[in-house]
Amino acid sequence: MDRAFLPALCVAFLVFGSVAFGGKVYKWVDERGVVHFSDRQPNELEKVKGTLEEREVKEALPSDTKEDLETEPLLRNPIEHAINATFTVKGAKNIGTGFFISSTGFAVTCRHVIQEASNYTAMLNDLTEVPLTVISTSQKYDLALIQVMAPQQTPCLALRQAETLLPGEQVFAVGASAGLQATVTDGVFTAFRKIPTLPEPVIQFSAPVNPGNSGGPLIDGNGNVVGVVSVKYFTTKGIPVSGVGFAVPSEQLQEEYGIYLE
């Protein structure tokens, strides 16, 4: 073994409990009196003087990685990530949903969610409440840009072009449905529709939504945002309607606030 590596290997041996590999470490003294540390046994040229010491080394993560794992929970699927990136928008008289589009707290909701004069707060997925500021409301779409005063970097969602959706493709709505934090419902994409209350065509989908869902993300199975939940039909001509919801397409979100997207 090259003696140039001896100091580093000595350190590795002395702190073997925190190295990032598993297996065995060997220590021996050769005929010249040089101390060796290695993850392999000595060869014939390295004649051992005295005892060959052998120690087991358990696999361990670097301390900074351990710390990250303790502070950042392991996510099991893209939907769980979407839940973490979604929050409840709370006002004096109304409730809605928003979701992060950057790690610096910029987020999106629906314009009608924050139209009332109120001191709005965001209830994050861990149920802590923090202030939010309205940055911009769209004059064209039912969209608004807000900034949440989160104490740390925020998980954020990526966009997918809604025009790539296929009829029957599964989608998920995430939001404070009926005031219940981070409710997830699933359905399918139906079509793009033109409805009287919105100026541009919107996504029609079948995932159940309720008051409180407005402003939340409509995502695909990979957790990418295809739309922002906006309205639903509750009744038509006095007849209850279920499974008919509408979302602002992601292209319109990109058009309005693309500069804030990561």
For the annotated catalytic residues, the residue numbers are 112, 142, 214
Distance CA 97, CA 176 (A): 6
Distance CA 258, CA 151 (A): 24
Phi/psi for 134 (5° steps) reads -80, 120
By C-alpha distance, which of 15, 10, 79, 61 is closest to 38?
A: 10
By C-alpha distance, which of 231, 178, 183 is closest to 204?
A: 231
Distance CA 46, CA 38 (A): 12
Measure CA of the first residue to CA of the last residue in the chain; give whole Å.
48
Pairing of strands 23-29, 53-57: antiparallel
